[in-house]
């Protein structure tokens, strides 16, 4: 994400607040960006740093081409310090080292910026050291704290920061963002229905797991249509090995639910709501097999299976029961 206009599409209120602060020369000395993982907090921190350091910023937008912008992208800007957890926490020693760095004059200018990622993971001692740091801010020092859990941060720290909320992404914004990140349209449509967390969506695409999960969902429904007596065999020998963990099985059932929703959308001629956008022929075939009432019954069965998995019922038993129900629909 390189421009405020892009962030504004993803987080309109947060982006506008930061842009207004810069335009009116009312930048706070400390910010707290809070919201779910994958909502653009890290990208906003990097973009704000570029805006403050770039000598060619115009209408809030940094140039993206100068030495300052390039070094921020590469993580090598000497006056931008990025603190991440050391293991499970951010330790007192990390904050002390940060304070030491800020006693020196900036190498490029008088401005210095530090970003504390996962600020809620600071130890008590680290939090107290940071609090003292925030109480005596330098004239050209900007602190940016990032967190998914603002309530876990000391209230005295929160009170010294301008707090900016990053909202969960809606389906349309999530879809557009994923496609801007180079994810295929078909995957973006499906992933945006499964999660509003951009980072989680990208992680799901790592390796072949998601592609195989998508394929298995369609294969299961095809077996149910053409060879229903082999459905249990398919579940035991192909479905369960892939969805072997509780979390992955829940995800597989989510994808299966979306497939049946698409069949319902096909019945209702709601093409704009479809997420399996490349499988029109298969959707039409499935629509001939399952009526609207039958699709609704199948979806109820999937929801019941998800509840059973959550209640720690044996996964194979749950899938076998669901398969039998899908056969009867």
Please report, for the domain that includes residue 267, its CATH number: 1.20.272
Domain of residue 132 covers 4-168
Give 154-194 pLDDT, tens digit per residue.
999 999 999 999 998 888 888 988 998 899 999 999 999 99
Q: Dump the DSSP string for 224-292.
A: HHH-GGGHHHHIIIIIHHHS-SHHHHHHHHHHHHHHHHHHHHHHTT-GGG-S-TT-HHHHHHHHHHS-H
Question: How far is C-alpha 277 from the chain's CA centre?
Answer: 22
Tell whether pTM > 0.75: no
Question: Per-residue pLDDT tens for 110-127?
Answer: 789 999 999 999 999 999
Whether residues 215 and 156 share a domain: the answer is: no
Sign of the CA dihedral 279, 283, 289, 294? positive
12 lies in the same domain as 150: yes
Among 50, 54, 40, 46, CA closest to 8? 40
* pLDDT computed for residue 170 by the predictor: 82
Number of domains in the chain: 2
Q: Which of 87-101, 126-140, 204-218, 241-255 has the lowest mean pLDDT?
A: 126-140
Does one domain contain both 8 and 155? Answer: yes
Residue 274 predicted with pLDDT over 60: yes
Assess whether 161 and 243 both reside in one domain.
no
Same domain, yes or no: 149 and 21: yes
């Amino acid at each position: 994400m390189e421009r405020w206009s892009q962030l504004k599409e993803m987080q309109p209120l947060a982006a506008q607040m930061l842009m207004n602060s810069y335009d009116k020369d009312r930048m706070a000395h400390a910010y707290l960006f809070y919201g779910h993982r994958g909502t653009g907090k890290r990208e906003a921190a990097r973009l704000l740093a570029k805006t403050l350091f770039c000598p060619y910023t115009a209408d809030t937008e940094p140039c993206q081409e100068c030495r300052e912008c390039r070094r921020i992208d590469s993580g090598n800007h000497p006056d931008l310090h990025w603190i991440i957890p050391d293991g499970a926490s951010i330790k007192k020693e990390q904050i002390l080292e940060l304070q030491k760095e800020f006693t020196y004059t900036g190498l490029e200018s008088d401005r210095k910026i530090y970003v504390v990622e996962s600020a809620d993971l600071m130890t008590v001692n680290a939090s107290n050291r940071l609090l003292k740091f925030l109480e005596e801010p330098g004239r050209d020092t900007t602190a940016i704290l990032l967190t998914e859990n603002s309530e876990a941060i000391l209230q005295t720290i929160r009170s010294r920061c301008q707090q900016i909320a990053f909202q969960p992404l809606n389906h349309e914004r999530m879809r557009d963002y994923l496609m801007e990140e180079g994810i295929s349209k078909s995957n973006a449509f499906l992933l945006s229905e499964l999660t509003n967390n951009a980072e989680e969506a990208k992680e799901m695409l790592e390796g072949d797991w998601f592609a195989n999960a998508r394929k298995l969902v369609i294969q299961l429904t095809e077996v149910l249509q053409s060879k229903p007596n082999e459905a249990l065999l398919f579940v035991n020998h192909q479905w369960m090995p892939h969805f072997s963990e509780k979390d992955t099985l829940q995800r597989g059932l989510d994808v299966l639910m979306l497939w049946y929703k698409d069949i319902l959308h096909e019945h209702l001629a709601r093409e704009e709501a479809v997420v399996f956008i490349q499988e029109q022929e298969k959707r039409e075939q499935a629509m001939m097999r399952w009526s609207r009432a039958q699709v609704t019954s199948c979806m109820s069965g999937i929801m019941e299976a998800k509840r059973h998995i959550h209640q720690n019922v044996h996964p194979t038993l749950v899938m076998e029961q669901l398969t039998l129900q899908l056969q009867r629909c």
